[in-house]
Chains A and B, each alone.
Chain A
Amino acid sequence: MRGAKGRGRKIYIALLLTLMYVPIVLVIVYSFNQSRLSSVWSGFTLSWYRELFRDRAIFEALRNSLVLAVISSFSAAVIGTLGAVGMARLKPPPGKIGKAMEYLSILPIMIPEIILGMVMLAFFSLLGLPLGMLTLILAHTCFCIPYIYLLVKARLAGLDKSFAEAARNLGANEWRAFRDITFPLILPAVVSGILLSFAMSFDDVIISVFVTGPHTNTLPIRIYSQMKTGVTPKTNALCTLVFAATVLLCILSTVAARIRVKTPKKEQSK
């Protein structure tokens, strides 16, 4: 494990990690590039950022994306957490029915996103729902639920059930046992589920392209159409800012993870 072989492994990991960051670094560097067209470096400028902040449409898309990600990750958290707790209590019957129930719980992530987008678009228009924020929220909630469900389920499986049982034996009703014992214990999983859902909703292109209406842009849809029509450094600037926010979120969630190890019941998110 030591010696030359171990070094080779580390070099491999370092190399692949570097490669992962190359495109990101390029975007950041070129967001400060003066030249509009070429990839040649022609001097440092902040003008693309200035131009970005004057773009009202982008801010509207940003606002839409934030509203969408917050509402759908929180709705998914409620539904998915209840789902995991409920399934644990229900003890799905062994055999075909149990398997079908398990499968149904994670169905949205078992099918390709593009099909999810297509079926939802077809269904929403069958129902006559106008495409826009509402359909986006429904669709995003839907694909976020399984992630919350799986994370909470994994956490529940590792929990000592005797706590909740003790509470119930001491006279707590179902709801109190859940609120005072189970919920604080699964909270870390719920929080990381929310963060993951938020990130995925915020980044989703495929499903959003299908279920959004002509008047509702989200940030990814806006960036996508910009990338198709023409490449401008303004998009670089936008991506750089979104990236900065992502890194911040990552660091926050790592910090939150550290805090909750020591004190299980403290507010972690935000």
Chain B
Amino acid sequence: MKNNGKLRLPPKAALFNAALPMFIFTLAFVLGPMIYMVVLSFMQREGNWGVAANFTLRNYARIGEPVYLATFAQSVRLAFTTTILTGALGYPFGYYMARLKPVWRGRVMLLIIIPFWTSSLMRLYGWIIMFRANGVLDSMLLKLGFASGPLRLLYTYPAVVTGMVYALIPFMIYSVYASAEKLDWALVEAARNLGASRFKAFATVSFPLTMPGLFSGIVLTFIPSMGLFFIADILGGNKVVLVGNVIQEQLMKAHDWPYAAALSVMLMAMTSLFIFLYRRLTRSGDLEGLV
């Protein structure tokens, strides 16, 4: 970032900056409420709806109960599985895409944008049609002779993983593409000319240079995957219960807000830790291809 050429403002005008509404908005509706959430997580539930302003650690102790610990473990496992699969499938796509001719790049980009902009519920709905008993997949496998009866894939863990990977893969593709597009291919060619094998050239030149894209793709996949409760809900039935589902249930059905707050604080702590590690590993603050 170059700073020369920018206009200098008198300090007084800087105070009444145009960015003020944005900061006020974020402070009022995000940061403030987040602080409130932390406070809420130390309060006591009262009656069926209410909250009493007594300090307690009970909500956090409750997270340690085996049922809830198992939920956390399942969420983390699902998030890891999703992230790894998304990376494995999305990285080559983004990387190859950057090597296409510009015309084709534009076309492929449009083809990714359309599903990305399509209602995520509609795309999930397509998977229901695909997965349900005697659905499209079952009858296809049956016809081809790969299966003898319905697989009953809907409401299983693999169904949820499929839905998650499917929903999140565009983020990975964008991030990897954004960093592969900036890659200087002459470097790769130089490595090849100097005798490096195709694999070695990739491992020593292309991969390290596209790593920022991969890492930001991982962050963009991992964080939402902890909270996408509606995918687990729709494709997993009640077999796959994530932290997100528990939070939603505690808020909307059980009306135990302090406990929901404590769960959210834990989730937030986990994702913050993840972002922190990401920053440490990549030594960068910016996310590649975030938008």
CB-based contact A243/B9 at 8 Å: no
Number of chain A residues close to chain B: CB under 8 A: 94
Is chain A's interface secondary structure helix, strand, loop, or mixed overall? helix
B157 within 8 A of A: no
A66 on interface, CB distance cutoff 8 Å: no
B residues whose Cβ falls under 8 Å from a Cβ of A: 1, 3, 5-7, 9, 14, 17-23, 25-27, 29-34, 36-37, 40, 89, 92-93, 96-97, 99-100, 108, 110-115, 117-130, 132, 134-136, 139, 166, 169, 223-224, 226-230, 233-234, 244, 247-248, 251-252, 257, 260-261, 264, 267-268, 271, 275, 285, 290-291
B6:A88 contact, CB within 8 angstroms: yes
Contacting residues of chain A (116-131) with chain B, CB-CB under 8 angstroms: 116, 118-123, 126
Please determine whether B30 and A107 come into contact, CB atoms closer than 8 angstroms. Answer: yes
Nearest CB of B to A2, in Å: 11
B18-A249 in contact (CB<8A): no
Contacts of A246 in B (CB 8 A): 114, 117-119
The reply to whether B268 and A115 contact each other, CB–CB distance below 8 Å, is yes
Q: How far, in Å, is A189 (CB) from chain B's closest CB? A: 10
Question: A224 contacts the other chain (Cβ, under 8 Å)?
Answer: yes
Contact across chains for B22 and A82 when beta carbons are under 8 A apart: yes
User: Does any Cβ of B come within 8 Å of A112's Cβ?
Assistant: yes
For the complex, what is the distance from the CA of A83 to the CA of B36, rounded to whole Å? 25
Is there an interface contact between A111 and B268, defined as CB atoms closer than 8 Å? yes
A22 to B26, CA, bound (A): 39
Task: Check if A89 sits within 8 Å of B9, measured CB to CB.
Answer: yes
Could you tell me the distance between the alpha carbons of A26 and B118 in the complex, rounded to whole angstroms?
14
- Asked if A141 contacts B121 (CB within 8 A), the reply is no
List, in ascending order, chain B residues with CB within 8 A of A57's CB. none
Give the CA-CA distance A177 to B274 in the complex, in Å: 43
Pick the residue among A12, A119, A242 that contacts B92 (CB under 8 A).
Answer: A12
Q: Would you give the shortest CB distance from B8 to chain A, in whole angstroms?
A: 8
Please, which residues of chain B bring their CB within 8 A of the CB of A105? Answer: 19, 22-23, 26
Q: How far is the CA of A73 from the CA of B271 in the complex (A)?
A: 27
CA distance A228 to B114 in the complex (A): 25
Contact indicator per residue, chain A 62-96, by CB within 8 Å of chain B (1) or not (0):
00000000000000000110111111111100000
Q: Are A116 and B113 in contact (CB under 8 A)?
A: no
A38, A142, A151, A247: the one contacting B134 at CB < 8 Å is A38
**A104 at interface by CB-CB < 8 Å:** yes
**What 12 new A-B contacts, CB under 8 Å, besides A108-B30, A114-B227, A224-B121?**
A1-B99, A20-B166, A24-B126, A79-B21, A83-B23, A111-B271, A118-B261, A119-B30, A122-B36, A126-B36, A162-B5, A239-B119
Against B, the Cβ 8 Å flags (1 = close, 0 = not) of A144-162 are: 0101011100100100011
Indicate whether A46 reaches chain B with its CB closer than 8 angstroms. no
CA distance A12 to B117 in the complex (A): 22
24 contacts across the A-B interface (CB closer than 8 A):
A1-B99, A13-B108, A16-B93, A23-B127, A23-B166, A87-B19, A88-B6, A101-B23, A109-B290, A113-B224, A114-B248, A119-B33, A138-B29, A205-B121, A209-B230, A210-B248, A210-B252, A223-B121, A224-B121, A227-B234, A239-B121, A243-B119, A249-B117, A250-B114
Contact in complex: A118, B23 (CB < 8 Å): no
0 or 1 for each of A224-268: is its CB under 8 Å from B? (1 = yes) = 100110010001100100110011011000100000000000000
Residues of A within 8 Å of B19, CB to CB, are 82-87, 90, 105
CA of A75 to CA of B166, assembled, Å: 31
Whether B132 lies near A119 (C-beta < 8 A) is: no
Q: Is the CB of B22 within 8 A of A86?
A: yes
Which of A83, A109, A249 has the most CB atoms of chain B within a 10 A radius of its CB? A83
SS class of chain B's interface: helix, strand, loop or mixed? Answer: helix
Query: CB distance A250 to B119 under 8 Å?
Result: no
**Distance (whole angstroms) from the CB of B176 to the closest CB of chain A:** 13
Contact between A89 and B18 (Cβ–Cβ < 8 Å)?
yes
- For chain A residues 32-56, which have a beta carbon within 8 Å of chain B? 38-40
* B261 engages A122 (CB within 8 Å): yes
Task: State whether A239 touches B122 (Cβ < 8 A).
Answer: yes
Query: CB-CB < 8 A to B227: which residues of A?
Result: 112-115, 206
Q: Given A165-B5, A228-B233, A83 and B21 touching (CB < 8 A)?
A: yes
In the complex with contacts A1-B99, A83-B22, A247-B114, A118-B264 CB distance below 8 A? yes
User: A219 vs B275: C-alpha distance in the bound complex, in angstroms?
Assistant: 33
A26-B126 in contact given A12-B96, A39-B132, A115-B227 (Cβ < 8 Å):
yes
Do residues B229 and A83 form an inter-chain contact, with CB atoms below 8 A?
no
Q: Which residues of B contact A114 (CB under 8 A)?
A: 226-229, 244, 247-248, 264, 267
Our pick among B33, B96, B114, B121 for the contact of A120 (Cβ within 8 Å) is B33
- Enumerate chain A residues within 8 angstroms of B7, measured Cβ to Cβ: 89, 161, 164-165, 168
B30 touches A22 (CB 8 A): no
Cα A30 to Cα B130 in complex, Å, equals 11
A136 within 8 A of B: no
> Which of A20, A120, A151, A164 has most B Cβ within 10 Å?
A20
Distance between Cα atoms of A168 and B9 in the complex (Å): 12
